[in-house]
Amino acid sequence: MIDKPSDPPVERRTHLREVVLKDAFIITQDGEIGCAVRNQHEHGAELRVAAGAKVPDNFRLRVPLDGATYRAEVRWRKGERLGIQIHGDFSLKIR
């Protein structure tokens, strides 16, 4: 089936995303990269990083507001946006 321009967008995501705005830090072997968590769900999140930031495929994500650090893997990249998968417990702590 082909979507017509007048049709509403079809949600293809398997997990409901919650819009958030949290400061966070990508922890690498070379140091920390500041970022913002823009939305999240129980298995991942979308991050915004500074233009030109060199983010490795695997890293730890420290979210001070959650009081936690998570193991993360980049699933997609688009400009200054990163989609990440969280390995382990990433319960929704939205404030």
Question: Has this prediction a pTM greater than 0.85?
Answer: no
pLDDT (tens, 9 = 90+) of the chain, 95 residues, equals: 555 666 555 445 555 566 778 999 999 999 999 999 999 988 899 999 999 999 999 999 999 998 999 999 999 999 999 999 998 765 544 33
Paired tokens of 46? 């979308």
Domains of the chain, earliest start first: 18-87 (2.40.10.220)
C-alpha distance from residue 52 to each of 1, 26, 44 (Å): 39, 14, 22
CA 72 to chain centre: 9
Paired tokens of 42? 């129980």
Residue 52, sorted as left (phi over 0), alpha (psi -120 to 50) or beta, turns out to be left
Taking alpha carbons only, the member of 58, 57, 63, 55 closest to residue 80 is 55
Q: What pLDDT is attached to residue 20?
A: 76
- In degrees and rounded to multiples of 5, residue 49 shows phi and psi of -125, 165
